[in-house]
Amino acid sequence: MDKPSQAALFVWLREQASSACAFQGRIIGRYPEADSAGTAHSFRLIYRDLETEPALADWLARLECDFSMARLLRGCGLYGAEISLAQPLSQAQRLAFPGHLGAELFIPSGALAQLNKPGLLVMDMDSTAIEIECIDELAAMAGVGEAVAAVTERAMLGELDFEQSLRQRVAQLAGADAGIIDRLCADLPLMPGLREMVTELKSHGWRLVLASGGFTPFVSHLQQLLQLDAAFANELVIEQGKLRGEVRGRVVDAQFKADVVSSSAERWQIAEGQRLAIGDGANDIPMVTAADFGIAFHAKPKLAAAADAGIERLDLRVLPYLLRLG
Protein backbone atom coordinates (compact mmCIF):
# COMPACT_ATOMS: atom_id res chain seq x y z
CA MET A 1 0.00 0.00 0.00
CA ASP A 2 1.32 3.45 -0.92
CA LYS A 3 0.73 5.11 2.44
CA PRO A 4 1.48 8.75 1.53
CA SER A 5 -0.89 8.76 -1.47
CA GLN A 6 -3.58 6.93 0.46
CA ALA A 7 -3.39 9.34 3.39
CA ALA A 8 -3.72 12.26 0.97
CA LEU A 9 -7.46 11.57 0.72
CA PHE A 10 -7.98 12.50 4.36
CA VAL A 11 -5.45 15.33 4.23
CA TRP A 12 -7.58 16.83 1.45
CA LEU A 13 -10.73 16.40 3.52
CA ARG A 14 -9.20 17.91 6.66
CA GLU A 15 -6.96 20.65 5.33
CA GLN A 16 -8.04 21.72 1.84
CA ALA A 17 -11.04 23.67 0.58
CA SER A 18 -11.38 22.24 -2.93
CA SER A 19 -14.65 20.51 -3.74
CA ALA A 20 -13.11 17.38 -5.27
CA CYS A 21 -10.07 15.12 -4.99
CA ALA A 22 -8.52 12.56 -7.36
CA PHE A 23 -8.24 9.19 -5.61
CA GLN A 24 -7.42 5.79 -7.11
CA GLY A 25 -8.64 6.81 -10.56
CA ARG A 26 -11.86 8.31 -9.22
CA ILE A 27 -13.00 11.83 -8.43
CA ILE A 28 -14.18 12.11 -4.82
CA GLY A 29 -16.56 14.96 -4.10
CA ARG A 30 -16.99 16.87 -0.87
CA TYR A 31 -20.31 17.90 0.68
CA PRO A 32 -21.21 19.75 3.89
CA GLU A 33 -22.32 17.54 6.75
CA ALA A 34 -25.59 19.46 6.89
CA ASP A 35 -26.43 18.38 3.34
CA SER A 36 -27.38 15.03 1.97
CA ALA A 37 -25.05 13.82 -0.78
CA GLY A 38 -28.03 12.77 -2.88
CA THR A 39 -27.41 9.07 -2.31
CA ALA A 40 -29.39 6.50 -0.43
CA HIS A 41 -26.53 5.03 1.60
CA SER A 42 -24.01 6.52 3.99
CA PHE A 43 -21.79 5.52 6.88
CA ARG A 44 -19.48 7.26 9.32
CA LEU A 45 -15.86 6.65 10.22
CA ILE A 46 -14.62 7.86 13.60
CA TYR A 47 -10.99 7.38 14.50
CA ARG A 48 -8.47 8.37 17.12
CA ASP A 49 -5.16 8.95 15.32
CA LEU A 50 -4.03 10.40 12.00
CA GLU A 51 -1.82 7.32 11.60
CA THR A 52 -5.01 5.33 10.95
CA GLU A 53 -5.87 7.31 7.83
CA PRO A 54 -3.80 5.30 5.29
CA ALA A 55 -5.49 2.07 6.35
CA LEU A 56 -8.93 3.71 6.18
CA ALA A 57 -8.16 5.11 2.73
CA ASP A 58 -6.98 1.70 1.57
CA TRP A 59 -10.24 0.17 2.80
CA LEU A 60 -12.22 2.86 0.94
CA ALA A 61 -10.23 2.18 -2.24
CA ARG A 62 -11.29 -1.46 -2.08
CA LEU A 63 -14.99 -0.54 -2.10
CA GLU A 64 -14.77 -0.34 -5.90
CA CYS A 65 -17.55 2.21 -6.24
CA ASP A 66 -17.89 5.98 -6.37
CA PHE A 67 -18.40 7.88 -3.15
CA SER A 68 -18.37 11.38 -1.71
CA MET A 69 -17.27 12.60 1.72
CA ALA A 70 -18.13 15.08 4.45
CA ARG A 71 -15.86 16.08 7.30
CA LEU A 72 -17.34 15.71 10.78
CA LEU A 73 -16.10 18.54 13.00
CA ARG A 74 -16.57 18.18 16.75
CA GLY A 75 -14.75 19.48 19.82
CA CYS A 76 -14.05 16.01 21.22
CA GLY A 77 -10.53 15.37 19.96
CA LEU A 78 -11.34 12.55 17.53
CA TYR A 79 -11.54 12.59 13.74
CA GLY A 80 -14.64 11.79 11.71
CA ALA A 81 -15.90 11.51 8.16
CA GLU A 82 -19.21 10.61 6.56
CA ILE A 83 -19.08 8.61 3.34
CA SER A 84 -22.01 8.50 0.91
CA LEU A 85 -22.33 5.68 -1.61
CA ALA A 86 -24.74 4.66 -4.33
CA GLN A 87 -25.06 1.19 -2.76
CA PRO A 88 -24.89 -0.30 0.74
CA LEU A 89 -21.78 -1.88 2.19
CA SER A 90 -21.66 -5.65 1.87
CA GLN A 91 -21.08 -7.89 4.86
CA ALA A 92 -17.60 -8.71 3.55
CA GLN A 93 -16.77 -5.01 3.29
CA ARG A 94 -17.94 -4.42 6.85
CA LEU A 95 -15.85 -7.31 8.13
CA ALA A 96 -12.76 -5.94 6.35
CA PHE A 97 -13.02 -2.58 8.14
CA PRO A 98 -9.73 -1.93 10.04
CA GLY A 99 -11.35 -1.19 13.39
CA HIS A 100 -8.50 -2.89 15.24
CA LEU A 101 -6.39 0.18 14.44
CA GLY A 102 -8.57 2.40 16.61
CA ALA A 103 -11.57 3.25 14.45
CA GLU A 104 -15.34 2.83 14.56
CA LEU A 105 -17.67 2.15 11.64
CA PHE A 106 -21.21 3.45 12.10
CA ILE A 107 -23.95 2.69 9.58
CA PRO A 108 -27.16 4.64 10.31
CA SER A 109 -30.41 2.71 9.98
CA GLY A 110 -32.54 5.86 9.84
CA ALA A 111 -32.52 9.60 10.42
CA LEU A 112 -29.89 10.76 12.91
CA ALA A 113 -30.63 12.95 15.89
CA GLN A 114 -29.44 16.52 15.37
CA LEU A 115 -26.57 17.70 17.55
CA ASN A 116 -27.33 21.40 17.26
CA LYS A 117 -30.95 21.10 18.39
CA PRO A 118 -32.10 20.45 21.98
CA GLY A 119 -31.79 16.78 22.85
CA LEU A 120 -31.72 14.34 25.74
CA LEU A 121 -29.12 11.75 26.69
CA VAL A 122 -29.93 9.31 29.50
CA MET A 123 -26.81 7.47 30.69
CA ASP A 124 -26.19 4.40 32.76
CA MET A 125 -23.48 5.02 35.36
CA ASP A 126 -21.49 1.88 36.25
CA SER A 127 -19.20 0.76 33.41
CA THR A 128 -20.65 3.51 31.21
CA ALA A 129 -20.16 6.94 32.82
CA ILE A 130 -17.56 5.52 35.22
CA GLU A 131 -15.06 2.70 34.79
CA ILE A 132 -16.18 0.60 37.76
CA GLU A 133 -19.20 -1.18 39.21
CA CYS A 134 -19.74 0.70 42.49
CA ILE A 135 -21.37 -2.23 44.27
CA ASP A 136 -18.32 -4.38 43.51
CA GLU A 137 -15.94 -1.72 44.80
CA LEU A 138 -17.95 -1.19 47.97
CA ALA A 139 -18.02 -4.94 48.50
CA ALA A 140 -14.26 -5.21 48.07
CA MET A 141 -13.77 -2.43 50.62
CA ALA A 142 -16.15 -4.26 52.96
CA GLY A 143 -14.31 -7.57 52.51
CA VAL A 144 -17.06 -9.38 50.57
CA GLY A 145 -15.85 -8.61 47.06
CA GLU A 146 -15.78 -12.04 45.45
CA ALA A 147 -19.31 -13.01 46.49
CA VAL A 148 -20.81 -9.76 45.24
CA ALA A 149 -18.83 -9.60 41.97
CA ALA A 150 -20.11 -13.02 40.93
CA VAL A 151 -23.72 -11.89 41.36
CA THR A 152 -23.02 -8.62 39.52
CA GLU A 153 -21.64 -10.44 36.49
CA ARG A 154 -24.68 -12.70 36.26
CA ALA A 155 -26.99 -9.69 36.51
CA MET A 156 -25.11 -7.81 33.77
CA LEU A 157 -25.43 -10.82 31.48
CA GLY A 158 -29.18 -10.88 32.07
CA GLU A 159 -29.11 -14.21 33.93
CA LEU A 160 -30.68 -12.83 37.13
CA ASP A 161 -33.61 -10.55 37.91
CA PHE A 162 -32.07 -7.17 38.66
CA GLU A 163 -33.99 -6.29 41.82
CA GLN A 164 -33.38 -9.70 43.32
CA SER A 165 -29.68 -9.54 42.50
CA LEU A 166 -29.43 -5.98 43.86
CA ARG A 167 -30.94 -6.93 47.19
CA GLN A 168 -28.70 -10.01 47.40
CA ARG A 169 -25.60 -7.92 46.84
CA VAL A 170 -26.58 -5.06 49.14
CA ALA A 171 -27.37 -7.55 51.92
CA GLN A 172 -23.72 -8.59 51.85
CA LEU A 173 -22.78 -5.02 52.88
CA ALA A 174 -24.67 -5.15 56.18
CA GLY A 175 -22.54 -3.81 59.02
CA ALA A 176 -19.93 -2.16 56.79
CA ASP A 177 -18.67 1.30 57.78
CA ALA A 178 -20.56 3.94 55.73
CA GLY A 179 -17.27 5.81 55.35
CA ILE A 180 -16.40 3.53 52.44
CA ILE A 181 -18.96 5.47 50.37
CA ASP A 182 -17.15 8.79 50.85
CA ARG A 183 -13.79 7.17 50.15
CA LEU A 184 -15.04 5.72 46.87
CA CYS A 185 -16.69 9.01 45.83
CA ALA A 186 -13.38 10.79 46.34
CA ASP A 187 -11.67 8.48 43.85
CA LEU A 188 -14.44 7.74 41.34
CA PRO A 189 -12.80 6.92 37.97
CA LEU A 190 -14.62 8.66 35.13
CA MET A 191 -14.94 6.76 31.87
CA PRO A 192 -12.45 8.10 29.29
CA GLY A 193 -14.14 10.65 27.06
CA LEU A 194 -16.99 11.39 29.48
CA ARG A 195 -16.01 14.99 30.16
CA GLU A 196 -15.46 15.78 26.47
CA MET A 197 -18.78 14.18 25.47
CA VAL A 198 -20.67 16.06 28.18
CA THR A 199 -19.03 19.38 27.25
CA GLU A 200 -19.88 18.94 23.56
CA LEU A 201 -23.51 18.01 24.17
CA LYS A 202 -24.07 20.76 26.74
CA SER A 203 -22.61 23.33 24.35
CA HIS A 204 -25.53 22.53 22.04
CA GLY A 205 -28.18 22.74 24.76
CA TRP A 206 -28.65 19.03 25.41
CA ARG A 207 -30.09 17.69 28.68
CA LEU A 208 -27.98 15.01 30.38
CA VAL A 209 -29.39 12.55 32.92
CA LEU A 210 -27.98 9.61 34.88
CA ALA A 211 -30.28 6.63 35.48
CA SER A 212 -28.42 4.02 37.48
CA GLY A 213 -29.09 0.78 39.28
CA GLY A 214 -26.25 1.92 41.55
CA PHE A 215 -26.48 4.29 44.49
CA THR A 216 -27.41 7.91 45.13
CA PRO A 217 -24.11 9.18 46.60
CA PHE A 218 -22.28 8.33 43.40
CA VAL A 219 -24.80 9.72 40.90
CA SER A 220 -25.10 12.86 43.04
CA HIS A 221 -21.32 13.25 42.99
CA LEU A 222 -21.26 12.95 39.20
CA GLN A 223 -24.24 15.27 38.79
CA GLN A 224 -22.48 17.98 40.74
CA LEU A 225 -19.07 17.36 39.16
CA LEU A 226 -20.35 17.51 35.57
CA GLN A 227 -23.35 19.81 36.09
CA LEU A 228 -25.80 17.21 34.81
CA ASP A 229 -29.52 17.95 34.74
CA ALA A 230 -30.82 15.04 36.83
CA ALA A 231 -29.72 11.76 38.41
CA PHE A 232 -31.60 8.71 39.65
CA ALA A 233 -30.30 5.74 41.65
CA ASN A 234 -30.99 3.54 44.67
CA GLU A 235 -30.76 4.83 48.24
CA LEU A 236 -28.71 2.79 50.69
CA VAL A 237 -30.03 2.62 54.25
CA ILE A 238 -27.46 3.89 56.76
CA GLU A 239 -27.92 3.77 60.54
CA GLN A 240 -25.42 4.97 63.11
CA GLY A 241 -22.66 5.16 60.53
CA LYS A 242 -23.17 1.61 59.27
CA LEU A 243 -24.75 0.17 56.14
CA ARG A 244 -27.83 -1.84 57.03
CA GLY A 245 -27.67 -4.00 53.94
CA GLU A 246 -30.90 -2.61 52.48
CA VAL A 247 -32.13 -0.05 49.95
CA ARG A 248 -34.96 2.36 50.65
CA GLY A 249 -37.90 3.13 48.34
CA ARG A 250 -38.55 2.01 44.81
CA VAL A 251 -35.67 0.15 43.20
CA VAL A 252 -34.21 1.78 40.12
CA ASP A 253 -34.52 -1.24 37.86
CA ALA A 254 -34.61 -1.66 34.08
CA GLN A 255 -38.19 -0.37 33.76
CA PHE A 256 -37.49 2.64 35.98
CA LYS A 257 -34.55 3.56 33.76
CA ALA A 258 -36.73 3.25 30.66
CA ASP A 259 -39.34 5.48 32.29
CA VAL A 260 -36.67 8.12 32.91
CA VAL A 261 -36.31 8.52 29.14
CA SER A 262 -39.98 9.35 28.64
CA SER A 263 -40.39 11.43 31.81
CA SER A 264 -37.26 13.48 31.10
CA ALA A 265 -38.31 14.06 27.49
CA GLU A 266 -41.69 15.28 28.73
CA ARG A 267 -40.14 17.43 31.46
CA TRP A 268 -37.91 19.34 29.03
CA GLN A 269 -40.14 18.99 25.96
CA ILE A 270 -37.54 17.16 23.91
CA ALA A 271 -38.74 16.53 20.37
CA GLU A 272 -39.22 13.04 19.01
CA GLY A 273 -36.05 11.82 17.36
CA GLN A 274 -33.82 13.69 19.83
CA ARG A 275 -34.00 11.24 22.76
CA LEU A 276 -30.90 9.09 23.27
CA ALA A 277 -29.80 6.53 25.84
CA ILE A 278 -26.50 4.73 26.41
CA GLY A 279 -25.55 1.77 28.58
CA ASP A 280 -23.46 -1.38 28.73
CA GLY A 281 -25.49 -4.23 30.27
CA ALA A 282 -28.62 -6.29 29.78
CA ASN A 283 -30.38 -4.19 32.42
CA ASP A 284 -30.11 -1.22 30.02
CA ILE A 285 -32.07 -2.88 27.20
CA PRO A 286 -35.47 -1.34 28.08
CA MET A 287 -33.83 2.09 28.43
CA VAL A 288 -32.01 2.03 25.08
CA THR A 289 -35.06 0.65 23.28
CA ALA A 290 -37.30 3.32 24.87
CA ALA A 291 -35.04 6.01 23.39
CA ASP A 292 -35.28 7.14 19.78
CA PHE A 293 -31.66 6.09 19.41
CA GLY A 294 -30.07 3.59 21.78
CA ILE A 295 -26.30 3.13 22.05
CA ALA A 296 -24.43 0.12 23.43
CA PHE A 297 -21.09 1.08 24.98
CA HIS A 298 -18.47 -1.70 25.18
CA ALA A 299 -21.56 -3.75 25.83
CA LYS A 300 -22.61 -7.24 26.79
CA PRO A 301 -23.96 -9.25 23.81
CA LYS A 302 -27.66 -8.95 24.67
CA LEU A 303 -27.55 -5.15 24.78
CA ALA A 304 -25.34 -4.93 21.68
CA ALA A 305 -27.98 -6.89 19.75
CA ALA A 306 -30.82 -4.62 20.96
CA ALA A 307 -29.17 -1.22 20.44
CA ASP A 308 -29.31 0.99 17.34
CA ALA A 309 -25.54 1.52 17.41
CA GLY A 310 -22.51 0.40 19.34
CA ILE A 311 -19.25 1.97 20.46
CA GLU A 312 -16.92 -1.01 20.54
CA ARG A 313 -13.32 0.19 20.50
CA LEU A 314 -13.07 3.92 21.24
CA ASP A 315 -14.32 5.96 24.19
CA LEU A 316 -17.34 8.16 24.88
CA ARG A 317 -16.03 10.95 22.67
CA VAL A 318 -17.49 8.97 19.76
CA LEU A 319 -21.09 9.72 20.70
CA PRO A 320 -21.33 13.29 19.29
CA TYR A 321 -20.05 11.98 15.95
CA LEU A 322 -23.13 9.72 15.76
CA LEU A 323 -25.32 12.83 15.65
CA ARG A 324 -25.94 15.09 12.67
CA LEU A 325 -24.69 18.68 12.72
CA GLY A 326 -26.76 20.74 10.34
Catalytic residues: 124, 126
The partner residues of 83 in beta bridges, in order of sequence, read 43, 69
Sign for the CA dihedral angle at 42, 48, 219, 283 comes to: positive
Nearest Cα neighbor of 241 from 170, 166, 167, 182 is 182
Do 233 and 216 meet the contact criterion of CB atoms below 8 Å apart?
A: yes
SS percent in the chain: helix, strand, coil, step 5 = 40, 25, 35
Please name the helix (run of DSSP H) or strand (run of DSSP E) that holds residue 201, with its range, or none. Answer: helix 194-203
Nearest Cα neighbor of 317 from 76, 49, 127, 46 is 76
Nearest Cα neighbor of 81 from 141, 129, 135, 37 is 37
| 175 CB-side CA count, 13 A | 3
Strand ranges, E, within 1-127: 20-23, 26-30, 41-47, 67-72, 79-85, 103-106, 120-123
- What is the spatial distance between Cα 169 and Cα 147, in angstroms, rounded to a whole number? 8
Nearest Cα neighbor of 134 from 258, 201, 219 is 219
Do 44 and 72 meet the contact criterion of CB atoms below 8 Å apart?
A: yes
Q: What is the CA radius of gyration of the chain?
A: 22
